[in-house]
Structure 1
């Protein structure tokens, strides 16, 4: 009986020590920049980049955004950037959309750029709430225009979270460009013949597991801890480290369930030679849950090229729904 009681008391102590060990696992050191992701942006001309403005989120924090007005707007689109980046990275795409008749808004997602605290959010799910608030702001600006939600890479994961969780009502289309669809999605796990020799993201898996266990019991007080490091360039506008709650907010946690809740038409575009995600696996990732989804793979293009290459920009602009009647600003 005594041994049984000792064992009974020891089990939770050991479990607590193991959990503490997982959570205290050190974060990876800052890796060298991932050249194919970071270098192409050095050649972008930002001389005509739109200035920063702010729209209030529900908690009063200003969501930083850049607005690119079309001369004769027939549609509007909200653009969500990729991991570690900010609205600057959407400049070429936003310009191309505006030239095609789509007024584009590129925001700094919460935890990036000038929106909130760098690398962190107040709670899991806050960035998706911001998407909902900003879409409402856009509808006030453009009551007659169809509004699409577009996310690139990790921003594509956030866009899916928002649409699948009911934070993007009445959008004309959900456009996912080379999206992160979750760590367990086939697009993340399948063999990729074009994969780079080194990784872009370095997650602290033991810590994520430990914090996720605590989250399952409703404990979120440690969610501010760093959980992932990106191989970002050493530029002041970038955010190379995410907290656990920002990471979970960006990455889809149940891809199939989210896809089944998407009400808007969905188009996914990716480069055939994407070096971050297995582009050939996007169809088998998405189609089982959302058979009507449209998947477009562009030949000879990699991950970042989907926001920079003229062929990709044209392809993205072509899938944005437009008002065929005279549009009103």
Structure 2
């Protein structure tokens, strides 16, 4: 075969490959899954009549981002808790838990993460890593009292793990992960997250390849959709861009995040979680290189972990225990 023919074949293959990639970018996005009742229905009964007003801080790109503050209701605060909501949601979804933590004496802060609710444009962020920068800017602007706990639910728990393995992890004294999303291939994750999400794999695969080449021009395209009811989709965030999908979770090598953690970490999960396998969390963390206490709350599903009284009591107890341990350690170190 002549050299000229080799070149022609290579050019043809390159053109076919580029055309396939272009088609995947255009047509390979996510489809909206049918509404998942176990996620949508529980929030209908939540009383938000005493929801605190939105406040705002300014991020480093001059974007005003929203949060709610629940002052501790026992005089002097016992510390502060920053609560990170789950995928597609807003800080309102954490209202029941935030109210209980405030009643226990903690100053509680619940941001709408960028791309959600009243923070930025829904479903998009400017770059992977912007959410960590936003959280750092929030701490600088608001200065929550110490000791500080970062607690995240579901995707927010995955993001809390991401931050717990970050170089800025010492900004918090303790991390509480509530049914955290670790990775789509982690043993703890049910197939398709139990029907909660659909990923546009063709588009995602191409974007992963492009990002390895440092091409990020298409990271605004949606790559994941969530099983929201039409009513919820109108208020929440039904799809994420590639950047937001990759940022609101641990790094792809979540085990490296686990190994990098230096602060105390605890996991709580409902015994009847529909998105995850509760009994696998302890071995997953152990195999990743860190033994982490895991509390399985019997009879509680995924959303129920932040709504049902038994689960909320367990979370408040976990936060209180961690703060007590921090206080004892601080007294020992200064004595």
TM-score by length of 1: 0.91
Unmatched tracts of structure 1, length 5 or more: none
Tell me if structure 1 keeps the 8 A contact 2:169–2:263: no
Show structure 1 runs of 4+ deviating over 4 A.
Answer: none
1:247 equivalent to 2:259? Answer no
Is the contact between residue 174 and residue 265 of structure 2 (CA under 8 Å) also seen in structure 1?
yes
> Offset of 1:289 from its aligned partner?
2.4
SS in structure 2 at match of 1:296: strand
Alpha-carbon separation, structure 2, partners of 1:141 and 1:213: 40
User: Number of aligned pairs?
Assistant: 317
Is the 8 Å Cα contact of residues 131 and 168 (structure 1) preserved in structure 2?
A: no
1:288 equivalenced with 2:300 (yes/no): no
Q: Which region of structure 1 is more displaced relative to structure 2, 86-95 or 4-13?
A: 4-13
Q: State the SS of the aligned residue for 1:137.
A: helix
Aligned to 1:107: 111
Ranges in structure 2 where 5+ consecutive residues have no aligned partner: 329-335
CA distance in 2, matches of 1:136, 1:312: 31
> For residues 16 and 26 of structure 1, what CA distance do their matches in structure 2 show?
14
User: Given the alignment, which residue of 80, 85, 93 partners 1:81?
Assistant: 85
Deviation at 1:98, TM superposition (A): 0.6
Question: What is residue 122 of structure 2 aligned with on the other side?
Answer: 118
Shift in Å at residue 26 of structure 1?
A: 4.1
Residue 10 of structure 1: how far off its partner (Å) = 2.4
Match of 1:157 in 2: 158
- Residue 22 (structure 1) shift: 2.1
Deviating more after overlay: 161-170 vs 206-215: 161-170
Partner Cα distance (1:309, 1:19) in 2:
46
Residue 28 of structure 1 deviates from its aligned partner by 4.0
Displacement after TM superposition at 1:35 (Å): 0.6
The aligned residue for residue 203 of structure 1 is 199
Q: Does 1:221 align with 2:217?
A: yes
Aligned match of 1:171: 172
SS of 1:187 mapped into structure 2 = coil
Say whether the 8 Å CA contact 1:132–1:168 is kept in structure 2: no
Deviation at 1:141, TM superposition (A): 4.2
- Residue in structure 2 matched with residue 23 of structure 1 by the alignment: 25
Cα deviation per residue 1:293-319 (whole Å; 9 max; x = unaligned)? 111111111100000011111111111
- 1:49 Cα offset (Å): 0.9
CA distance in 1, matches of 2:290, 2:254: 14
- Confirm or deny: 8 A CA contact 1:78 1:135 kept in the other structure: no
Structure whose residues are more often helix by fraction: 2
Residue of 97, 100, 111 corresponding to 1:93:
97
Deviations 1:155-175 (A, max 9, x none): 111111122122432311111
Q: Distance in 2 between matches of 1:146 and 1:28?
A: 41
Measure how far apart 1:5 and its partner are: 1.6
CA drift at 1:251:
2.4
Secondary structure in 1 aligned to 2:208? helix
Task: For 1:257 and 1:213, locate their aligned partners in 2 and report how far apart those are by CA, in whole Å.
Answer: 21
1:121 is paired with a residue of what secondary structure? coil
Whether the 8 Å contact between 2:152 and 2:178 is mirrored in structure 1 is: yes
SS at match of 1:185: coil
How many Å separate the matches in 2 of 1:141 and 1:23?
42
Paired residue for 2:40, among 38, 41, 51? Answer: 38
The separation in 2 between residues aligned to 1:245 and 1:24, in whole angstroms, is 17
Aligned partners of 2:28 and 2:201 also within 8 Å: no
Q: Please, which moves more after superposition, 205-214 or 165-174?
A: 165-174
Cα pair 1:129 1:167 within 8 Å, conserved: no
Q: Distance in 2 between matches of 1:260 and 1:132?
A: 22
Corresponding residue for residue 297 of structure 1: 296
Distance 1:32 1:292 in 2: 37
